[in-house]
Every structure is written in structure tokens, then in C-alpha cells.
Amino acid sequence: MISGYVRSDLYKDAIDLFTEMQVVGVKADSRTIACVVSACGHSGALHQRSWVHSYCERNHIEMNLSVKNALVDMYCGDIEKSLEIFHGLTKKDVVSWTATISGLSMNGQSEKALQFFSQMEMSK
């Protein structure tokens, strides 16, 4: 359901359903978290993004590449936090690079975005 809400751009509904899951005691898995993190990023739910991130840590959610990429994207408004997560990735895919480059561009760091693009090209 959460994934469907996110795909339908119903981000608030996705976050509300995740909150309801917590109330009834249903533990989320990494796929659910990736969707919720994406919903927080797209909806601008800044107050919820740190809560979801700490939920992952408290509940030992597997921080696979999908979840970490979603976190990089979610924190694009806080570019330092986004870069911290990006640099901590042991493996980077095109989603990791794209989210980071986009975040840099949105934060007025176009020169650095171009540098990251060059690094991405060299990493292939």
C-alpha cells in the first residue's frame, strides 16, 4: 500500500499509513522504509525525515542500497547530510550519483555537481 501511495504521488497517505503501522506494532522492512523515506523527501515532511532515519537505526532496519539512496535523495535540502550518507556508501549506483548530483544542483553548487558527474563517469 505504501509503495502504491508513493507511486501515485500520495505522499501524505504513505506517511500516515506508516505511522498507523507503528501504532499497531507492525515493523517495517527495508522496502517499506525506502518508500517512506521517498515519501518524506517528496512531500517536504522535514520533521518526519529524521524520525524515519532514527527509526531505521533503532529497529536495526537493513540499510541496503535502496534505503541509502532514498536517504541521499531525502536529505537533498540538507546537502551536507546528503553528502555524508553518499560518501558512506560502499557501493554507488546510478541512483546514488544522480540523487547527489541533483541535490548539489538544487543547492546552487553546480560546479561541484559537474565534478561529481565527472567522477561518476570515471567510476564506470
Burial of 34 (0-12, 13-18, 19+ CB in 10 A): buried
Could you count the other beta carbons within 10 Å of the beta carbon of residue 31? Answer: 14
**pLDDT, tens digit (0-9, with 9 covering 90-100), for 57-113:** 888 888 889 989 988 988 888 899 999 999 999 999 999 999 999 999 999 999 999
- Indicate the domain borders of the chain: 1-63, 65-124
Q: What is the model's pTM?
A: 0.81
Q: What is the pLDDT of residue 105?
A: 95
User: Rounded to the nearest 10 degrees, what angle do helices 65-74 and 79-87 cross at?
Assistant: 160
Alpha-carbon torsion, ordered 70, 86, 118, 76, to 10 deg: 50
